[in-house]
Structure 1
Amino acid sequence: MKTVLTFFLLLSFGTIRAADLFVEAESFTHKGGWVVDQQFMDLMGSPYLLAHGMGEPVEDAYTEVTFPETGTYYAYVRTYNWTSPWKDGEGPGKFSLSVGNKKLISPLGAEGSAWMWQVAGKISVKDRKTVLKLQDLTGFDGRCDAIYFTTEEGKVPPSDVKELEAFRREALGLPDTPALAGQYDLVVIGAGIAGMSAAVSAARLGCKVALINDRPVVGGNNSSEIRVHLGGRIEAGPYKELGNLQKEFGPTRGGNAQPADYYEDRKKLDWLANEKNITLFLNYRAIGVAKDGNNITSVVAKHIESGKELEFKAPLFSDCTGDGTIGYLAGADYRMGRESREEFGENTAPEKPDKMTMGASVQWYSVDNKKPSAFSHFNYGVEFNEENCEKVMMGEWTWETGMNYDQIKDFERIRDYGLLVVYSNWNYLKNRMKDNSQYRNRKLGWVAYVSGKRESRRLMGDYILKEDDLRKYVMHEDGTAATTWSIDLHYPDPANTKNFPGQEFKSIAKHINIYPYPIPYRCLYSRNIDNLFMAGRNISVTHVALGTVRVMRTTGMMGEVVGMATSICKKYGVKPRNVYQSHLDELKKLMEDGTGKKGLPNNQTYNEGGTLKEKPVVK
């Protein structure tokens, strides 16, 4: 596949022709130590390459391009000074661009306060075919979205995201209509634990499934990219077979922020590959939906490196994105933030509604280098000292940011602040703290650049699960997978607030233990998009109730139920709501049987949480 396409633009008077070359950085053939970051493409318009070296420059990225003609070209690079929200002036994410053997203006990525087209200089092109190279200069998360060359001085691509998208499509020759990926019984978007389980459950019951994931690995927060261990209990509640799937693919070791092999990415991928009714589409991010009335007819997804777009058609869709992306694009009812105490009679809710959510974590750890290890000085707007520094060698879930920001619109800022405080604190421990002998031989071994998110949109179903249901054990006839984790809500750590008012990066958790509680099936489908299921942290619950249902073993069991309901929808040609109205007994029978392999020992007994003794449940 060609990674670079060229085009010519005729000026309005038609006598002078400008030659142009547009290159997407994420399409580079050889990425070296740079990584593709797609987390914010809905905000800034594209995936980009990130030089995530944790303070050590990463290996160069390079690709071969063909200029449309020889001559003098003016070069521009779309980049972002990522520390600009906290400190004016030059930022740390510096890199350079070379064309052939010539390095252009350097550094790039260290100026401005937003995504911008930075002037990179001009180049005399004598050989049309040449190599572009991105050289990281610092290891501190320099980022490059795209590179643009033009023979017309002063001609810069648009900065507006929508205008830039149109410019990209024309520049890269992308077709107006996406290619058809195929016709499926169910399209699952998001291959975290919930999405994986939904896909396999439906597939084993005879449904043809497309599973779309916007990263090269699956498992979501339980992948090696984020490194959160599974939480909650299986073999609980009225349907003991729910959760058996997780015995087949779940990691056998627990722990947050542990070495990559703890999370067994390959085991998960192989597990999915062995399901004949599933087609897995890695590195595709859903960007749009088509509808007919209150029904989704197709989802469009874009490859995060090539830009290729595919259209997925099905009678049923399951939003397992966490962010409720498909529901949002389809116009599904949703909520964000905290409800008032009065609205649902929740004692744990705040007196007045607000926009606060649980935050996102950038986890990290250091390793013993067995010899003195230097760390480049890093001071970009957050000051640490002897009183406020974190004297630790790793950070896991408590390193949590963005509770008072919008977890969708402000997500790049939220993730970047997570990086900022890790580097800033480590800089103090390594370079400024007087008695730092215990850190002298240590270096950063891993810092997540994919942020682990807890809460954003919650899609509304025919029932909204609330605190009283959980604490008073209000049973519903359509109870399904049992949530077993405590009502676990996170708040800014008061000590951290005292030291960093308005710039908190640490959290505390407050727990209310509950009996295993069967989640109503009506929480697993949209109330106004007729063919949309959801499984994961984006189901129909209040903020308080989210505190228990959000852990991954519980979300996986939700996915199993969605897969079962999908098979019933296919069998009778009905929609998710009709399963509740007319086929609930059949769903209960499927939940009793389960879709996992029988007789496997429970290897998922770590991080089960503080659950009260199980109450008897009438099915």
Structure 2
Amino acid sequence: MTAFTEGFTMSEISTEVLIVGGGLGGVAAALAACRAGRTVVLTEETDWIGGQLTAQAVPPDEHPWIESYGAPASYRELRTAIRDHYRTWYPLTGAARARRELNPGAGYVSKLCHEPRAALAVLQALLAPHLASGRLRILLEHVPAEVFADGDRLRAVTLWGVRTEESHTISAAYVLDATETGELLPLAKAEYVTGAESRDEHGEPNAPAQYEPLNMQGITYCFAVSYHEDENHVIDKPADYEFWRSYRPDFWPGPLLGFLAPDPRTLEPEVRTFDPRPTGDPLAVNADQSANAGGDDLWLFRRILAKGLFEPGAVDSDITLVNWPLNDYWLRPIIEVGADEAAAAHREAKQLSLSVLYWLQTDAPRPDGGTGYPGLRLRHDVVGTGDGLAKSAYVRESRRIRAVTTVTEHHVSRDILGTHGIHHFPDSVGVGAYRIDLHPSTGGDNYIDVASVPFEIPLGALLPIRMRNLLPAAKNIGTTHISNGCYRLHPVEWNIGEVVGHLAAFCLKRGVEPHAVREDAELFREFAAELDAIGVERHWPAPAGY
């Protein structure tokens, strides 16, 4: 017993599948394993399941065909349930209620911009039957502390309560790492990679010349705001405001706290607009980033509640989600560094986001020649925290397993594969589509934004080279720093989690190991048939699907 755990209440739990991390991948994995009849323990560091969709407060980033194909059936069911949540409980206008593809926020980033709590309610409802049956147990506000292994197999994981003096050692046949940063990998001494691989390792055109293990995309503490014209909601001046007010990165066209920022694709200076009183019809918004990226309008881009979609008087303002170039934080990495430095990074990232808000409220230039929008109100209620910032940072990049198959830029780049090219993996277990979108990094890189083509998810990228029963279920699969840029968004993480949860259940049923499912053609055909039956799309529609 350590000094830290002295006085803790300790228990031992046995289950078939342990899922550490309750983000989208973790929830999808839990649903898949439970639906297959397996017992599951799901743990989560915060008090909200849902990861980037809820605790990180990031509206879904999706490809333009998401309403019809290009994601598992269960992911589209999730999206339908979120829309039904609004139709059931919110006073929508008749026109909004009748809209099949209802977009509650009418934001440009997604055809389904919505509040974090709406997604949380739906995810909780999806898991409720399995909690009632006893197949599922959820441990909120728990973090992994120790891993017990016998050779290449994990035997158990100990988790500590974040706010309570309790500790659980959970033994399981399969352990799924669905954490945001691949936290189990170093604890298990599994082989993994961080940061940016060298160009020589995989021959990727956009990789750096040398391996840069601490070069990772920045994190963001998102927050939500509404606007109330004749009110004053100015927050206390953040402690680090003067630093951030004067901070100008070498590769930025002006101060970070400003409406001038690089265009991610061209790196040319681009002026962002900000008007918290939009007058357009929210039903007229076409959320298709392939036609209109929409990121130049900061208020509309990630608007998560559009006042005009609700009956008069129901809501008194739009609500928008601030996840902008202004509050990306890249001064320090948060993984592969000491605890003190990681804590400093999180504190500084929070200070940056609060400084962005204070700047908007007091110093931001207005079209009328004045400065500041004091009527901007920080919406603590929307994100469920005391400080008004999301419960956890939006983490774009994780530790990544050394996998049987590593997906590289060569498998996804449009420049390499051609406009209508798709790299087909014989062991595909899913699909996705998104640009190679890397944000400014801790290594001093500007945006790396490269056109890509729709892609497949190979089973080999979900299999560690050595560990037999430890599986990745989030952004920690076998991608590179470059290819991670398009495998990291909501529908792909859900797809990964669902497949890995089903894989664990399949292996328990058949008495085989995950690697054998890929190596044995008959086993893979059987597993693939089960994925097909539950609506996991493994290939894009012929001939190209886009």
Q: What SS does the aligned partner of 1:474 have?
A: coil
Question: Is 1:511 paired with 2:450?
Answer: yes
Q: Deviations over 1:266-303 (max 9, x none)?
A: 22112111223322222222211111111001111112
* CA contact 1:201–1:595 (8 Å) conserved in 2: no
Residues in 2 aligned to 1:488 and 1:525: alpha-carbon distance in whole angstroms? 24
Higher relative contact order, structure no. (Cα contacts within 8 Å, ≥ 6 residues apart): 2
* CA contact 1:532–1:576 (8 Å) conserved in 2: no
- CA drift of 1:349 comes to 1.4
Equivalent residue in structure 2 for 1:423, among 339, 354, 375: 354
Residues in 2 aligned to 1:429 and 1:595: alpha-carbon distance in whole angstroms? 45
Instruction: Classify 1:324/1:437 alpha carbon distance in 2 versus 1 (closer, same or farther; 3 Å).
Output: closer
Question: Counterpart of 2:409?
Answer: 467
* CA contact 2:16–2:39 (8 Å) conserved in 1: yes
* CA contact 2:54–2:116 (8 Å) conserved in 1: no
1:471-482 superposed matches below 5 A: 471=413, 472=417, 473-482=422-431
Question: Counterpart of 1:159?
Answer: none
Residues in 2 aligned to 1:503 and 1:462: alpha-carbon distance in whole angstroms? 28
- CA drift of 1:366 comes to 3.5
Question: Is 1:568 paired with 2:429?
Answer: no
The AA in structure 2 aligned to 1:450 is S
Residues in 1 aligned to 2:8 and 2:73: alpha-carbon distance in whole angstroms? 47
Higher normalized strand content (fraction of residues): 1
Question: Is 1:552 paired with 2:490?
Answer: yes
- CA drift of 1:476 comes to 2.2
Question: Counterpart of 1:246?
Answer: 78
Question: Counterpart of 2:8?
Answer: 174
Instruction: Classify 1:509/1:589 alpha carbon distance in 2 versus 1 (closer, same or farther; 3 Å).
Output: same
- CA drift of 1:304 comes to 1.4
1:116-515 superposed matches below 5 A: 166-170=2-6, 173-174=7-8, 178-181=10-13, 183-232=14-63, 233=66, 236=69, 241=73, 243-244=75-76, 246-247=78-79, 253=104, 260=115, 263-275=118-130, 276=133, 277-354=135-212, 355-369=214-228, 370-380=230-240, 382=243, 384=245, 388=255, 389-390=257-258, 395-398=322-325, 399-402=327-330, 405-409=333-337, 410-431=341-362, 436=370, 438-445=372-379, 446-448=388-390, 450-471=392-413, 472=417, 473-491=422-440, 508=447, 510-514=449-453
Residues in 1 aligned to 2:375 and 2:67: alpha-carbon distance in whole angstroms? 42
Residues in 2 aligned to 1:240 and 1:218: alpha-carbon distance in whole angstroms? 20
* CA contact 1:429–1:436 (8 Å) conserved in 2: no
The AA in structure 2 aligned to 1:554 is V
Percent identity of equivalent pairs: 20
> Unaligned regions of 5+ residues in structure 2, if any?
84-102, 248-253, 260-273, 277-298, 300-321, 380-387
The AA in structure 2 aligned to 1:285 is V
- CA drift of 1:449 comes to 5.0
Residues in 1 aligned to 2:544 and 2:236: alpha-carbon distance in whole angstroms? 59
1:535-546 superposed matches below 5 A: 535-546=473-484
TM-score, normalised via structure 2 length: 0.69
Q: What SS does the aligned partner of 1:350 have?
A: coil
Q: Deviations over 1:362-420 (max 9, x none)?
A: 12343334323444344535152697332557731432112653435343222222222
Instruction: Classify 1:545/1:283 alpha carbon distance in 2 versus 1 (closer, same or farther; 3 Å).
Output: same
Q: What SS does the aligned partner of 1:384 have?
A: helix
Residues in 2 aligned to 1:308 and 1:512: alpha-carbon distance in whole angstroms? 48
Residues in 1 aligned to 2:462 and 2:504: alpha-carbon distance in whole angstroms? 11
Residues in 1 aligned to 2:80 and 2:170: alpha-carbon distance in whole angstroms? 28
Instruction: Classify 1:192/1:306 alpha carbon distance in 2 versus 1 (closer, same or farther; 3 Å).
Output: same
Instruction: Classify 1:413/1:575 alpha carbon distance in 2 versus 1 (closer, same or farther; 3 Å).
Output: same
Residues in 1 aligned to 2:507 and 2:238: alpha-carbon distance in whole angstroms? 56
Q: Compare 362-371 and 266-275 and name the one that shifted more.
A: 362-371
The AA in structure 1 aligned to 2:12 is L
Question: Is 1:585 paired with 2:525?
Answer: yes
Instruction: Classify 1:475/1:403 alpha carbon distance in 2 versus 1 (closer, same or farther; 3 Å).
Output: farther
> Unaligned regions of 5+ residues in structure 1, if any?
1-164, 493-501, 599-612
Higher normalized helix content (fraction of residues): 2
Residues in 2 aligned to 1:614 and 1:337: alpha-carbon distance in whole angstroms? 34
TM-score, normalised via structure 1 length: 0.62
Structure 1's consecutive aligned runs of 4 or more residues displaced over 6 angstroms after TM superposition are: 256-259
Provide the alpha-carbon RMSD of the alignment.
3.4
Q: What SS does the aligned partner of 1:578 have?
A: helix
Question: Counterpart of 1:111?
Answer: none
Instruction: Classify 1:507/1:235 alpha carbon distance in 2 versus 1 (closer, same or farther; 3 Å).
Output: farther
Residues in 1 aligned to 2:357 and 2:324: alpha-carbon distance in whole angstroms? 17
Q: What SS does the aligned partner of 1:289 have?
A: strand
Residues in 2 aligned to 1:298 and 1:455: alpha-carbon distance in whole angstroms? 26
* CA contact 1:241–1:593 (8 Å) conserved in 2: no
1:21-170 superposed matches below 5 A: 166-170=2-6
